[in-house]
Amino acid sequence: MADTTQNQATHPPQPRKASWKYIGPGIVVAATGVGAGDLVATLIAGSNFGYTLLWAAIIGCLVKISLAEAAGRWHLSTGRTLFDGWASLGRWTTWFFAVYVVVWGFVYGAAAMSSSALPLQALFPGVMDLKWWGIACGLVGLVFVWFNKYAVFEKVMTVLVGVMFVVTVYLAIRVTPNLADAFAGLLPVLPDEKDSILNTLGLIGGVGGTITLAAYGYWVNAKGWTDTGWMKVMRLDNRVAYLTTGVFVIAMLFVGAELLHSANVAIASGDKGLVQLGDILEEEYGAATAKFFLIGFFATSFTSLIGVWHGVSLMFADFVARLTGRGRAKGEEVASGERERSWPFRGYLLWLTFPPMVLLFEGQPFRLVILYGVLGAAFMPFLAGTLIWLLNTSRTPREWRNGPLSNVMLAVAGLLFLVLCLKQIWDQPWGDFF
């Protein structure tokens, strides 16, 4: 590992020109990070507060640009994977990731399949029960990721992102946003309601903030970017990722503000809120608009499913290779495609797909859901904190260590997610857990 760093310092790679033709991992991370639940959260924010929190949604995108850029910069500047960096901080990171990836994957698998099934059931009523649609989505995701390498995966994700983009922008235009109020929403003002600070922090941290931010560095390597010559390209790619996310967020906030807030209409939290929105759109604009929206809803949910199936399986494969000493925890290993053909990659794919199907029939076990919520909330402060640690020490070549702006942004992200984590832990019904 030291040889890789020394070699890059002695013979620095030729910088590639930042060009749109290279864009790819950013589209993947944007599509995976923005799920149906994120769109509902933004809709509800627009429904409850109008355009007041538009500024918070934009800050959320900027915060996550800094996190994803830091993850990508670690991979490119050191030639090492993020898990290899975590392992250098102590065995506690290995234990945290091991517990997290097992519990989180089990519950998330069921949630992702159910979320993808909802729009299909609404589009084709009476064809199948929700749980069978969910099983079908899980199996399609499994087969697709199992038999395709990153290049094909990226192309399919790009097409689905295009569908998401067209649908969300169309809806934002269709509801005729009040641009004067929207511009006023860029001023950092808190709503005059109870818990407005926590609601604002939740919106900043919620959209596109998942383990896929950590997976971004792995997708960068899978694309074939393995050294500092790709740094400018990666940074452009990352900005495109969160510009795309910003468009999704702003568009859905417009829909919430105009369609729901102005009419004082409330929708349920969670994925079922989007099904309700489909019914509202049908009443307002007709069946064609409603079906068009449901297609976009499916694209949003299914990109999150196959994105996690690929990205987190890639991380798990690297985790096992590092743990067993059977592979080098380097970017070149990820770029070669060996990780995607390994048994840990495919084993975790099976874990995401088949055990969670039980939850589609039985419902989610209470204690496991609590652990899932706590571990999920803890991951983002863990990511922000470890990136600050890795990128300010000798583990990173001096040229690519954090500057003042990066440190401020990562510190803000860490504090933000720590507050949200503590709130999540506080809100859990621990009295019923024991």
CA distance 82 to 242: 21
Phi-psi region of 210 (alpha: psi -120 to 50; beta: other; left: phi over 0): beta
What pLDDT does residue 315 have?
A: 96
Helix (H) or strand (E) holding 239: helix 231-255
Place of tokens 């407005």: 196
- Return d(Cα 417, Cα 50) in angstroms, integer: 24
pLDDT score at 411? 95
Q: Secondary structure of the chain: what % helix, strand, coil (to 5)? A: 80, 0, 20
Query: Where are the alpha helices (H) located in 50-149, listed in sequence order?
Result: 54-78, 82-87, 91-123, 130-147
Q: CA 398, CA 392: separation in Å to the nearest integer?
A: 9
Mean pLDDT, 10 residues at a time, the chain of 434 residues:
48 74 91 83 86 89 90 96 94 94 92 92 91 96 96 96 94 91 90 76 73 93 95 94 88 90 74 83 92 93 96 95 76 90 96 94 75 83 96 96 95 90 83 70
Q: Residue 77 carries which side chain, given as an amino acid letter? A: S
Residue 270 exposed, middle or buried by CB count within 10 Å (0-12, 13-18, 19+): middle
CA-to-CA separations, 205 to 24, 38, 60, 240, in angstroms, rounded:
24, 10, 6, 19
59, 63, 164, 254, 379 from 413: Cα distances, Å:
10, 6, 27, 25, 12
CA-closest candidate to residue 18, choices 225, 247, 216: 225
Contacts of 261 (CB under 8 A, 6+ apart): 46, 47, 48, 49, 50
- If one counts every other C-beta atom within 10 angstroms of the C-beta of residue 220, the result is 31
- pLDDT (0 to 100) of residue 17: 76
Task: Please tell me the pTM assigned to this model.
Answer: 0.92
What pLDDT was estimated at residue 3? 46
CA distance linking residue 257 with residue 255, whole number of Å? 6
Closest CA to 207 of 405, 44, 382: 44
The Cα–Cα gap between 293 and 285 comes to 11
Helices (H) and strands (E) counted in the chain, each on its own, are 20, 0
